[in-house]
Structure 1
Amino acid sequence: MTDKTRVGVIGAGSISRQYLTNLPTFADVEVVRIGDLDVDRAKAQAEAFNVPKSGSADDVYADDEVDLIVNLTIPAAHVDVTTSALEAGKHVWSEKPLAESREGAQKLIEAARRTGKRLGCAPDTVLGSPIQAAMRRIHGGDLGTMISGLAMMQSPGPDMWHPSPEFLFQAGGGPILDIGPYHLSSLVWGLGSIKRVYAEGGRARPIRTIRAGDRAGTEFEVTVPTNVNAVLEFASGASATLVLSFDSPRRRAGLLEFGGTEASIVVPDPNTFGGTIEIHRPEGGEPKTIEAEANGNGRGVGAVDMIRSIREDQPHRASAELAFHVLDAMLALQDSVAATEPIELTTEAPELRPVPEGFNPTQAAS
């Protein structure tokens, strides 16, 4: 690799704007090409964000200048796109989820091992300043023995604002697979591998209506649970409560708390990169607050961590193995809702290393 890792993006949809805004600000990254099934859409994004080359996904795979591919396609395409990228000799950073099935995730991990390429997966908000400030304290023992977690996100649903929200209410979507990765990844970082889950939930409405954009008024079918209440049991002996909903008139954006024997810590919305954490002690009084600035972090920081980990010959933090464990948990939650019984997980999380204090992806690594 050169001093800057040359990145190709596949997928020119709405989330590409965040990545194409952030990636050029990172010291280790140069975006050299974008591809999409709709080559005109790829061209428009290339022109808007000063990306020198555009075209199809095949053009990105074949480009010898591309070292790493960022996969921003819809969940149903993740396995095919990521497999093709790995087999083309590229490292891959994928948007969440890693795959729609355990079999697909396992196939990707095996492809990464076979090709000798790195595979990382969102969410990388868990690498942001607030969560990592909390993790340094949890992993350092400041909170004592970890015993509990609480995570919650409630909203009326993305059909209120998204111009084409159907995929968020079908296989690969719903609050479990769309929002769950942020909360579950954070809980795993703080409490370790999930052993067993029990969940109840359902669909408030089997048919929903698009409320925004040119297709406002269009109805579509909902095929996945849109409200879920769950209890998670961890291998460490800790437990956590998880509430996720696309059916709530009241909006709660990302509640996340961890409890230990010596203190509890409250973390900002795990779908963000900055904010204030609070540490509460048993003796009461005002909590200790710590302001954790975004510090240059944003969508794509997981790719930067992967790039630097490759150079340092270290495991990257937002790994495919972690994403597989989170996917296993999400699918177990869906299975538990359907079966109304606890479901055992089949995977374990890898060992996790908190990000060093002061990490800033916009500055070159020392």
Structure 2
Amino acid sequence: MGQPLRIGVVGCGTISGVYLDTLHRLEPVEVTAVADLDAARAEAVAAQRGLRALPVAELLTDDQVDLVLNLTIPAAHAEVALAALAAGKEVYGEKPLAATTAEAREVLAAAGRAGLRVGCAPDTVLGTGIQTARRAVDDGLVGAPVAATATMVTPGHERWHPDPDFYYQPGGGPLLDMGPYYVTALVTLLGPVASVLGASSRPRATRTIGSGPRQGQSVPVAVDTHVTGVLVHESGALSTLVMSFDGTGTTAAPIELHGEQGTLLVPDPNRFDGDVLLQTPEDRTVWQTLPVSAGYRDAARGYGVADLATTPAGTLPRASGELALHVLEVMEGVLQAAELGRSVEITGTAARTPAVPLGDLTA
């Protein structure tokens, strides 16, 4: 009791640096080892951070590791998670929980049999931005929620990414790439989703790389790059989702939430902070900036791991594997609905965990 949760990191790519910076300053956790299929990369990170570098198989069974932080590529998420659970380790993974809903269900089933917890990004919803918006909803500032819109429009990652191929292959596209942030926020604000509708398009067959050593090369497009969905929440609220790699930009708020007594403008769910604005029918010319009232201050990627570490036994962590599975099923459902031209039922659900009180987790 009172000891930090010991973390072993599998996957030492770029995102690992962000996590390690955050975890180093959080009291409930301690990173004890790192691993990567590229041993030299793991050794470089270990030397820089004062950690041990281990082969992946050894890290999964190391007696100084309580939880495996899975920062591998999405295609390997389920494989690494299942191996960690089989070794008796808890797991926290980068989004998505697995490449498919079927694989994600296998991970949670294995965790259930072993009595181990699973957490998953995005944990941006634990910051002051989304949590202040949730507090406003829970406190009835907008009345009964009716609907929400979530909008992400960019011209495509090939303009800046030197190797953007993945974004245009199965498993990529704007919904599966950026949708986890928006759908997780919508579920956090409005509760789980019961069914979805969808439509999508693919205006271009190829994309041209705009930077790096492959600048000017063409990338084939094998997925739809503009996706629109309607999420029917169990509460009856409707969310409209627009995720696109086919526009220049948008003036729409990342998320707008409409209730019977007001509207909230919710900040970018890919960030942890940001202003929450409220407009009421009494004065439709004014947007009031709400005071920060909930969430972890100064949060960054990795707070979901520390939140799991502080969650009592037998209680779901806020950035839970169950939530990540539900979000993945919702996104797959939107794509399936677009293909079939009809509504798709979401068979799973996700409990709405307690809001985050305003505070911090730093030492």
Task: Give me the TM-score of the superposition, normalised by structure 2.
Answer: 0.93
Query: Which secondary structure state, in structure 2, belongs to the residue aligned with residue 156 of structure 1?
Result: coil
Name the structure 1 match of 2:13: 13
Name the structure 2 match of 1:139: 138
Whether the 8 Å CA contact 1:152–1:252 is kept in 2: the answer is no
Give, in angstroms, the shift of residue 322 of structure 1.
0.9
Pairing of 1:207-218 with structure 2 (within 5 A): 207-218=206-217
Name the structure 2 match of 1:328: 329
Letter of the 1:321 counterpart = E
Query: Which secondary structure state, in structure 2, belongs to the residue aligned with residue 25 of structure 1?
Result: coil
In the alignment, the residues of structure 2 paired with residue 56 and residue 2 of structure 1 have an alpha-carbon distance, to the nearest angstrom, of 29
Letter of the 1:36 counterpart = D
In the alignment, the residues of structure 1 paired with residue 247 and residue 195 of structure 2 have an alpha-carbon distance, to the nearest angstrom, of 26
- Using a 3 Å threshold, how does the CA distance of structure 1 residues 63 and 94 change in structure 2: closer, same or farther? same
Name the structure 2 match of 1:82: 81
In the alignment, the residues of structure 2 paired with residue 169 and residue 43 of structure 1 have an alpha-carbon distance, to the nearest angstrom, of 32
Name the structure 1 match of 2:341: 340
- Using a 3 Å threshold, how does the CA distance of structure 1 residues 112 and 252 change in structure 2: closer, same or farther? farther
1:270 equivalent in alignment to 2:272 = no
Pairing of 1:187-206 with structure 2 (within 5 A): 187-206=186-205
Name the structure 1 match of 2:303: 301
- CA RMSD, Structure 1 to Structure 2 (Å): 1.9
Give, in angstroms, the shift of residue 254 of structure 1.
6.5
Whether the 8 Å CA contact 1:12–1:36 is kept in 2: the answer is yes
Whether the 8 Å CA contact 2:188–2:352 is kept in 1: the answer is no
In the alignment, the residues of structure 2 paired with residue 193 and residue 4 of structure 1 have an alpha-carbon distance, to the nearest angstrom, of 32
Give, in angstroms, the shift of residue 251 of structure 1.
5.5
Letter of the 2:30 counterpart = E
Which deviations, in whole Å up to 9, do the C-alpha atoms of 1:302-332 show, x marking residues without a partner?
111100004x653211111111111111001
My pick for the range that moved more, 173-182 or 14-23, is 14-23
Letter of the 1:28 counterpart = P
Letter of the 2:205 counterpart = P
In the alignment, the residues of structure 1 paired with residue 164 and residue 70 of structure 2 have an alpha-carbon distance, to the nearest angstrom, of 19
Query: Which secondary structure state, in structure 1, belongs to the residue aligned with residue 265 of structure 2?
Result: strand
Name the structure 1 match of 2:248: 249
Name the structure 1 match of 2:94: 95
Letter of the 1:90 counterpart = K
Give, in angstroms, the shift of residue 253 of structure 1.
8.8
Which deviations, in whole Å up to 9, do the C-alpha atoms of 1:148-185 show, x marking residues without a partner?
10100111122222233222222222111111011111
- Using a 3 Å threshold, how does the CA distance of structure 1 residues 278 and 237 change in structure 2: closer, same or farther? same
Give, in angstroms, the shift of residue 258 of structure 1.
1.0
Unaligned runs of 5+ in 1: none
Name the structure 2 match of 1:353: 354
Which deviations, in whole Å up to 9, do the C-alpha atoms of 1:82-101 show, x marking residues without a partner?
11111111111111111122
- Using a 3 Å threshold, how does the CA distance of structure 1 residues 218 and 115 change in structure 2: closer, same or farther? farther
My pick for the range that moved more, 236-245 or 338-347, is 338-347
Letter of the 1:211 counterpart = G
- Using a 3 Å threshold, how does the CA distance of structure 1 residues 46 and 164 change in structure 2: closer, same or farther? farther
Give, in angstroms, the shift of residue 139 of structure 1.
2.1
- Using a 3 Å threshold, how does the CA distance of structure 1 residues 94 and 249 change in structure 2: closer, same or farther? same
Whether the 8 Å CA contact 2:8–2:32 is kept in 1: the answer is yes
Which deviations, in whole Å up to 9, do the C-alpha atoms of 1:264-297 show, x marking residues without a partner?
1111100001111101111124222035497231
Q: In the comparison of the two structures, how many residue pairs are matched? A: 360
Query: Which secondary structure state, in structure 1, belongs to the residue aligned with residue 142 of structure 2?
Result: coil
- Using a 3 Å threshold, how does the CA distance of structure 1 residues 254 and 177 change in structure 2: closer, same or farther? farther
Give, in angstroms, the shift of residue 343 of structure 1.
1.5
Letter of the 2:236 counterpart = G
In the alignment, the residues of structure 1 paired with residue 156 and residue 53 of structure 2 have an alpha-carbon distance, to the nearest angstrom, of 33
Which deviations, in whole Å up to 9, do the C-alpha atoms of 1:115-149 show, x marking residues without a partner?
11110111100111111011122123332111110
Give, in angstroms, the shift of residue 202 of structure 1.
1.9
Pairing of 1:95-174 with structure 2 (within 5 A): 95-174=94-173
Name the structure 2 match of 1:287: 287
In the alignment, the residues of structure 1 paired with residue 235 and residue 218 of structure 2 have an alpha-carbon distance, to the nearest angstrom, of 45
- Using a 3 Å threshold, how does the CA distance of structure 1 residues 57 and 163 change in structure 2: closer, same or farther? farther
Q: Percent identity?
A: 41
Query: Which secondary structure state, in structure 1, belongs to the residue aligned with residue 24 of structure 2?
Result: helix
In the alignment, the residues of structure 2 paired with residue 327 and residue 302 of structure 1 have an alpha-carbon distance, to the nearest angstrom, of 18
In the alignment, the residues of structure 2 paired with residue 212 and residue 31 of structure 1 have an alpha-carbon distance, to the nearest angstrom, of 35
